[in-house]
Amino acid sequence: MPFQKIFFRALFLLLTFTFCTHTAVFAQKTREQLEREKSENQSKIREIQNILKQTSSQKNVNLGQLKALNQQINTYKKQIDLLSDDLELLNGELKVLEKKRQVLDNDLAKLKVEYGHMIYEASKRNVYFNQLVFLFSAGTFNQFVLRYKYLKQYTEARQGQVKEIEILQDKLAVERKRITVKKNQQKNVLDTRVSENTKLEGLKVKQNEVIQVLSQKEVELRKQIAENKRATDLLEANIRRIAERERRERLERERREREEREARRRAERERIARENAERERKGEAAVKVEPKVEEEPVISSGMSEEETTLASSFTASQSRLPWPVKGFVSGHFGQRPHAILKGVMVDNLGVDIQTSAGEPVRSVYDGVVLDVTEMPGMGNVVAIQHGNYMTIYAKMNGVTVRAGQKVKARENIGRVATDSDGTSELQFQIWKNTSRLNPENWLIRR
């Protein structure tokens, strides 16, 4: 058999194996990402299950229970989508493995045929002449050497083909095993998706039951909306009062700084005038000296240098702030339709984050506590200043900070309170001066 053919076949097999390996590595990266998303979503499912268990333990059906059910349904839907992605990925991986197995099968078959031809040719030579006769029948010494090299290379080629066949057989065994594993994974994912679909349908039935019960409580729900509106208006008025107080203090501080700068300029001019008057008295020529001019602030914000730096770094943290509490957004920012009452809109100054009872609340950024107060319908409210930004944490109890205290990011400031319905929700807001912002644009995506 020509040795060039053996060499190029070996090179082809190496390139095929390398391609398949690289394809597997690429798929592995995608699988790692998918497995991470599945794991994170599964953690959310467990977290919401705990919250739902807490709200469902109450005798009366409530909005908190409906919100938790809605969120649980969304997480199950996402999990089913991820499982579908998983199946699609497994199908792709199986196709790659099957293609690789097919290539290896074909090459093994060709090698066996070629090896059979070599054995057949060798057997014919052994029948018709002896290798020693073949060697010593050479006419010259050089011809003898060439015949010896030929026989040696032929023997090595046969041994190489045997080794190549053994390697291919080992690779085939590995690939068949991997295919079996992938098919088992595929079956498990399919079974899991069926199970998740069953759970989803059960949740939808429960959701409809809760909606029907709540729909019959229109009077109670409207009363609750009115109470929430009064509490929200009171909270907003308090926030604006704090923001206005801070604005006045900044303006006052700016006025004082401006007056101090002017006083220093006036004192400098008076000093120069006194020195020149003294020179004239002594008969010396007056010296023209320009008074030192202090540089005016580029932007007149009334904030100190520390507050300006803090405000700048807070601005740069948009979409990267940590969550103030574990849980999920149960009430979004701005005006939204009521979950049950048709045609009724509710306005949210920030976001509601539903969580478990007694969950710790943490500051989302470094700052100074501006105000700690207790308000009807809002429990304990903490306002923290971050330059000209302010974060608000309402519906709390067990507050552990006081006005004027400096806090660090992720520092505990209290715990979430639980209302009479058994719902634990933190009301979280972000303000810039007197303008409210959407906290979901600032918190890290989950």
Where along the chain do its domains lie? 3-215, 310-441
Backbone angles phi, psi at 146, to 5 degrees: -65, -40
What angle, rounded to 10 degrees, do the helices at 3-56 and 141-215 form? 20
pLDDT at 21: 44
239, 244, 245, 246 alpha-carbon torsion, rounded to 10° = 90
Distance CA 405, CA 358 (A): 23
Q: Which two tokens stand for residue 63?
A: 């909005």
Q: Which two tokens stand for residue 133?
A: 């006769």
Distance CA 244, CA 435 (A): 11
DSSP for 309-376, please give it: HHHHHHHTTTT-BPPSSSSEEEE-SEEEE-SSSTT-EEEESSEEEEE-TT-EEE-SSSEEEEEEEEET
pLDDT at 226: 93
HSE toward the beta carbon, residue 268, CA cutoff 13 A: 12
Low-confidence ranges of the chain (pLDDT < 70): 1-29, 59, 104, 107-108, 111-112, 114-139, 141, 143-145, 147-162, 164-166, 168, 172, 285-302
- Residues 106-139 as b/e (b if ≥16 CB within 10 A, e otherwise) read ebbeebeebbeebeeeeeeeeeeeeeeeeeeeee
Torsion over CA: 400, 357, 419, 409 (sign): positive
Q: Which two tokens stand for residue 107?
A: 């090459």
Residue 42, number of CB atoms within 10 A of its CB: 13
Q: Which two tokens stand for residue 74?
A: 């969304």
- Which DSSP helix (H) or strand (E) runs through 424? strand 424-432
Distance CA 427, CA 322 (A): 15
Residue 385, number of CB atoms within 10 A of its CB: 20
Q: Which residue has the tokens 């809109």?
A: 345
Residue 222, number of CB atoms within 10 A of its CB: 13
pLDDT at 47: 87
| C-alpha dist (Å) from residue 190 to 80, 267, 409 | 10, 85, 43
Q: Which residue has the tokens 């000296």?
A: 289
Pairing of strands 412-416, 360-362: antiparallel
Domain spanning 310-441: which CATH class is it, in words?
mainly beta
